[in-house]
A = this chain, B = another copy of it.
């Protein structure tokens, strides 16, 4: 029973994810999700009662599945420079990604919370966690690079944080004003050059 119920719940979340990827967060109604899931109205309400509740779960699901993916593609014996390049490649992909991206929905969701003055506890705040995880990864990476002598940096934590804000700026600009691949490349190269030791 619990199993079965879990399956349905997952089905709902997966279908809902599609909807959010297509329409963002603010335009999605319970109806949209009901239709996308091919489920009954009442059925949906047995599991969730608000759209934002569903979206929070979708984000959580997304994060969990993302954890796996990230680690897998790392080759053995990579240098910090290699890893940084890979990190930036992933960031670029995310910044430019059009299909199946939840970015717009995520922003809309957080602005929605903000305008409703709803605070999420840090532990459940996925966007915050992702940001902080990013900072941590970069910081460790920079420290590694300093050890190998590949990187130059006086304040690894400050730089990591600075880079993450810049990437955030690129992401949000891509979703609001739009941005060309060339421009993203230019910015990412600029960031990397700032770290990598230049003779």
| Complex interface: chain B residues within 8 A of A166 (CB) | 162, 165-166, 169
* Stretch of A7-15, A59-67, A83-91, A105-113 with 4 or more beta carbons under 8 angstroms from chain B: A105-113
Name the residue of chain B whose CB is nearest to the CB of A22.
B115
| Complex interface: chain B residues within 8 A of A79 (CB) | none
Contacts A111-B104, A111-B176, A176-B107 given; does A165 touch B169 at CB 8 Å: yes
Name the residue of chain B whose CB is nearest to the CB of A20.
B115
Name the residue of chain B whose CB is nearest to the CB of A161.
B187
A58 touches B (CB below 8 Å): no
Using a CB–CB distance below 8 Å, which chain A residues touch chain B?
23-24, 26-27, 104, 107-108, 110-112, 114-116, 125, 127-128, 131, 155, 158-159, 161-162, 164-173, 175-177, 186-187, 190-191, 194
- Could you jot down 26 A-B contacts, CB within 8 Å? A23-B115, A24-B114, A26-B112, A26-B115, A104-B114, A107-B176, A108-B108, A108-B115, A110-B175, A111-B111, A111-B175, A114-B176, A128-B177, A155-B190, A158-B190, A159-B190, A161-B190, A162-B166, A162-B190, A166-B166, A166-B169, A169-B169, A169-B171, A169-B172, A172-B172, A194-B194
